[in-house]
Structure 1
Amino acid sequence: MGKKIKGKDLVNLGFPQNNTINIALGQISRYRKKCDKQKLLNELSDVIANQDSYKDDPVWGKIIEAMTDPVELEMHTLQSHRVPFEIFGENEIGDLAKHQFYGSLKLPIAVRGALMPDAHGGYGLPIGGVLATKNAVIPYGVGVDIGCRMAMSVFPLPASHFKGRTDQMKKILSEHTKFGMYETHRVKHDHPIFERSEFREIPLLKQLFKKAYQQLGTSGGGNHFVEFGVVTMREDLYLDGKLQLPQGEYLALLSHSGSRGLGANIAQHYTHLAKKQCHLPKQVQHLAWLDMDKHDGMEYWIAMNLAGEYAKACHDNIHSRIAKELGTQITVTIENHHNFAWKEKVNGEECIVHRKGATPAGKGVLGIIPGSMTAPGYIVRGLGNENSLNSASHGAGRMFSRSQCKSKFTKSEIQKLLQTNGIELIGGNVDEAPMAYKDIHTVMNNQQELVEVIGEFQPKIVRMDK
């Protein structure tokens, strides 16, 4: 008997001679490759004999589904019409983003859409795209960086704290933040997220546990940052009926990053599965979806939510480290995802609302909308506009792509602009030039019916990937 399980071995066990065998071989190759063949055959024999016991199993459940309720592999056609939608700040949005958005509105699962004023082209949904779907989740509608989020911690320190301490604060950011694919903290911190059962029960997450542990409290490359700045509160901030932050100016820390390698691998894995199951016309193939009633859809939803909570854990770790170095406590933290999907009511029915590069802006919901490293960001309160699917922009939005920036701007130009605005930059590349972004004031003017501004953040010391 050879060491590798083949299709005929499964047929001999009683597996039906259809796509179930391909799925079983795929699961074995992915999750049981190193198992002893006879031991594995015994386990598979038990799967066949006791199907009800295995229908929720993270590995074999997909096989039971294939036998009892198979996923139909078919070419989906687009609808001839778009579902209802709204575009905010349309004159400031490029044709690529609109074209991608219009394609998403013709998906047979689409219910309603909205495009935010910072929108620009991406993969699948454009950045700034919001799409409600019926009982289906689109991995690329969430994005590769699952749970990418903003987090702002305000300290009980005045804005004048910067005076005479610039070098000290630059050192804190340099030594206690980590960026990119390979930098990690020398002293690792534990976190309750690593006790989650999903890391033990879902094979893919089990494989990613070590990477997630190593990358806790780190930030990605690109437009991810950690920066000190001054918060100006325009009004007293109350949370749960209690005064958390009186009107005034304070030292604050703002961070932007997501779920790191954990989220990227989840996105890649489930997008691959979605494309295999959901065949679409070439122009919208990145919008392949997973059925929320099927094994892969339910599993993606669990993994996506874990990645979102992991992203929050990373921000919590960053802010805790910085607060410790400042020798102070955090007064209040305001935070939000902007690459995620939620179960929400749309037109009176439960839908999956994807916000790819869009800030949740339900009535009374707080959020952070950053500008660029030389432009202010804003603390906002959602107005609950149903036409925007309770959403707002996630920032200023790119005006020039990263490749365009490399040919359009120089480091000396960027440095001159930083000096003019009194900004200290640690790291950073030409592709994140402040000039690459739209005017945040124009973006905010185009969403006055979506959010109200209650505070402003002015960057002072910015740390990015090198």
Structure 2
Amino acid sequence: MKEKQLLDLGVDPEDIEFAKELVENARAKGLNKKKVNRQLQLAVQKPEANFTNPYFGKLAQKVYQDRRFKERKEPAPWKIWGEDLPEQAVLQMKNACRLPISWRGALMADAHQGYGLPIGGVLATENAVIPYAVGVDIACRVKMTVFDSPAEDVDKNKDFLVDTLQKDTLFGIGKTFSKPHDHEVLQEDWSFSKVTKHIKPRAIKQLGSSGSGNHFVEFGELTVSQDTLGLQAGTYLAVLSHSGSRGAGSAVANHYSQLAMKLRPGLPKELQHLAWLTLDSEEGQEYWQAMELMGRYAAANHEIIHEKIIKSLGATPLLQIENHHNFAWKEVHDGRELIVHRKGATPAGKDDLGIIPGSMVNSCYVVRGKGDETSLSSAPHGAGRVMSRRKAKQLFNWTDVNQMIKSKNVTLLSAGLDEAPSVYKDIDMVMEYSNDLVEILACFQPRIVKMAEDGERPED
């Protein structure tokens, strides 16, 4: 029996060779193909009821033992930054540290509830990757371009900058370009898995676009208080973007998350979204390859957005910085190679440059990582929500929100009410909690902001 047939019958990848042997033995003893398939399928699907099966009982026993959840004797150690973090986020982090694959964790000051691992959660595992601990918007990232133009241009050329954002950006789920952009990422192999092969045509049409939810492109003023980053102290015009791998990343995340949960049916309900794929399995290797491709695709989206804006402005970029979250990295900590998941958290290794945004009216910070090992060299990815989208829509109205935005000297072109500034934590407080993780080098103040239209389903 071929490997694909065994997989279709529900055999775990690590049990393929063992199952082949049992199938051969069963056929040699006269069991016909139809009965082999049926009994094998029962042994895999209901192992606890098939321990005494004369042909596949040993497989049933192995499957049952392998799929039983074996919790760590003691939770993996982890540390919290910040105070009064949401109870559900803290509980999710505690649960993640119960996994047998977990090594160490951290919870950032911008934490709030997510699927499986909380937003702001950092988890190091051994030889395993958790699709939902990476996140649905794989490799969501921020990128900043600083121009050789004074910040006063935000006011002097406001209409032109507004037109540039309207012309050079595209937001929203399902939105595609009628004339697709080209990029070297599209020349890569997308056929290594069914899901990436299937999603490529859509990815081509969405390349260079932004998502919805908290994704944005905005012009603003970057203030550098002392000579650093290769810039002289002063205030500059800059553009900042935030979005990820769009529909392609979502498809990859959903496919492999469902596959991981199918392969770990013995997990308790509260841990089901933390189902993992081992890196020495075909599925684990395939997901890792897909995740890294989505990382390059997300980077390409930002590259195209910034190239179009640079061309429209006719300005010279002095500096470009970018970093991503919702990803997993192979890193060495505690003297061993680990898989470090950062879901809504960013790398902050020694001297790593990064960007930590606030909200559409509040400061964003350019930072340098300090390489703090207790955080697994991580930092927050933003301000973090303090309420759900549903609650935000119940509490706020556009009349009050627009008045507040205008008082901050910000021009908002479009956004959802559930992205109102008050749904976010105080970014300065988040940064204060994180002063042992990063050093602040510069401050960006949004002035012209574009997000997806109100009513779009969130994609962040």
Q: Do both share a fold (TM > 0.5)?
A: yes
Residue in 1 that maps onto 2:106:
114
The question of 1:172 aligning with 2:164 is answered yes
Amino acid at match of 1:202: S
Separation (CA, whole Å) in 2 of partners of 1:253 and 1:316: 12
1:261 maps to 2:247? yes
CA distance in 2, matches of 1:428, 1:458: 18
Q: Offset of 1:201 from its aligned partner?
A: 3.1
Structural mapping, 1:196-207, within 5 Å: 196-197=188-189, 199-207=190-198
Q: Tell me, yes or no, if structure 1 residue 193 matches structure 2 residue 185.
A: yes
1:71 deviates by 12
1:83–1:428 CA distance, 2 compared to 1 (3 A): same
**Counterpart of 1:350?**
337
The alpha-carbon distance between structure 1 residues 464 and 358, as it changes in their structure 2 partners (threshold 3 A), is same
Aligned partner of 1:458: which letter? Q
SS, match of residue 345 in structure 1: strand
Matched residue, 1:132? 124
**Aligned twin of 1:44:** none
Q: Could you say which residue in structure 1 is the equivalent of 2:79?
A: 86
Instruction: Say yes or no: does 1:288 pair with 2:294.
Output: no
Residue 327 (structure 1) shift = 1.2
Q: TM-score of the superposition, structure 1-length normalised?
A: 0.83
Please tell me the root mean square deviation across aligned C-alpha atoms, in Å.
2.1
Q: Secondary structure at the match of 1:245?
A: coil
- One-letter identity of the residue aligned with 1:151: K
> Which residue pairs with 1:245 in the alignment?
231
Q: Structure 1 pair 190/183, CA: closer, same or farther in 2 (3 Å)? A: same
Q: Deviation at 1:394?
A: 0.4
| CA displacement 1:116-138 (0-9 Å, x = unmatched) | 00000010100000000000000
Pair 1:299-2:286 in alignment? yes
**CA distance in 1: counterparts of 2:201 and 2:166, whole angstroms:** 25
Partner of 2:67: 74
Aligned residues of 1:179 and 1:464 also touching (Cα < 8 A): yes
Tell whether 2:225 aligns with 1:226.
Answer: no
What CA distance in whole angstroms lies between the structure 2 residues aligned with 1:96 and 1:387? 22
Equivalent in the alignment of 2:203: 212
Residues 77 and 281, structure 1, Cα contact 8 Å, conserved in 2: no
1:168 Cα offset (Å):
1.6
1:184 shift after superposition: 2.5
Q: Distance in 1 between matches of 2:158 and 2:280?
A: 54
SS of aligned partner of 1:223:
coil
Partner residue in 2 for 1:183: 175
CA 1:337–1:70: 2 relative to 1, 3 Å = farther
Give the alignment partner of residue 360 of structure 2, picking from 373, 380, 383.
373
Letter in 2 for 1:111: W
Q: Please name the residue that 1:446 is paired with.
A: 433
Give 1:329 deviation, angstroms: 2.8
Shift of 1:204: 2.0
- The 8 Å contact of residues 154 and 219 in structure 2, kept in 1 or not, is answered as no
Q: One-letter code of the match for 1:83? A: A
**Mapping of residues 392-431 of structure 1, within 5 Å:** 392-431=379-418
Q: Aligned partners of 2:152, 2:211: CA distance in 1, in Å?
A: 30
1:310 paired residue number: 297
Which runs of no fewer than 5 residues in structure 2 stay unpaired? 14-58, 454-460
Which stretch of structure 1 is more off in the superposition, 406-415 or 128-137?
Answer: 406-415
Question: Counterpart in 1 of 2:154?
Answer: 162
Partner SS, residue 96 of structure 1 = helix
Distance 1:186 1:15, change over 3 A: closer
Deviation at 1:75, TM superposition (A): 2.5
| Cα distance in 2 for residues equivalent to 1:301 and 1:17 | 21
**1-structure distance, mates of 2:231, 2:208:** 26
State the AA in 1 paired with 2:76.
Answer: V
The CA deviation at 1:283 is 0.7
Q: Is the contact made by 2:178 and 2:205 (CA closer than 8 Å) also made in structure 1?
A: no
Aligned residues of 1:73 and 1:277 also touching (Cα < 8 A): no
Deviation, structure 1 residue 234: 2.6
Q: Is the 8 A contact 2:383 2:425 kept in 1?
A: yes
- 2:95 partner amino acid: G
Q: Deviations over 1:351-398 (max 9, x none)?
A: 000000001100000000000111100000000000111001000000
- Report the residue type matching 1:174 in the other structure: Q
Q: Secondary structure at the match of 2:79?
A: strand
What is the rounded CA distance, in whole Å, between the counterparts of 1:72 and 1:324 in structure 2?
Answer: 60
Q: Which residue identity is paired with 1:234?
A: S
8 Å Cα contact 2:327/2:342 also seen in 1: yes
CA contact (8 A) 2:137 2:244 kept: yes
Q: 1:268, 1:160 → 2: CA distance? A: 45
Q: Aligned partner of 2:330: which letter?
A: K
Q: CA deviation at 1:247?
A: 2.2
Residue-by-residue CA offset, 1:332-358 (whole Å, 9 max, x unaligned): 110001110000012110000000000
> What is the rounded CA distance, in whole Å, between the counterparts of 1:16 and 1:295 in structure 2?
12
Q: Tell me, what secondary structure is at the counterpart of 1:342?
A: strand
Q: CA deviation at 1:23?
A: 5.5
Q: Is the 8 A contact 1:15 1:21 kept in 2?
A: no
- CA distance, structure 1, for counterparts of residue 231 and residue 381 of structure 2: 23
Distance (Å, rounded) in 2 between the aligned partners of 1:16 and 1:290:
18
Distance 1:447 1:269 in 2: 35
Distance 1:185 1:327, change over 3 A: farther
Q: Which runs of 5+ in 1 are unaligned?
A: 1-13, 27-65, 239-243
Give the Cα–Cα distance (whole angstroms) in 2 for the partners of residues 394 and 75 of structure 1: 35
Instruction: Tell me the residue number matched to 2:325.
Output: 338
Give TM-score, length-normalised by structure 2: 0.85
Structure 1 counterpart of 2:20: none
| Residues 1:134 and 1:459: Cα distance change in structure 2 (over 3 Å) | same
Q: Give the aligned partner of residue 310 of structure 2.
A: 323
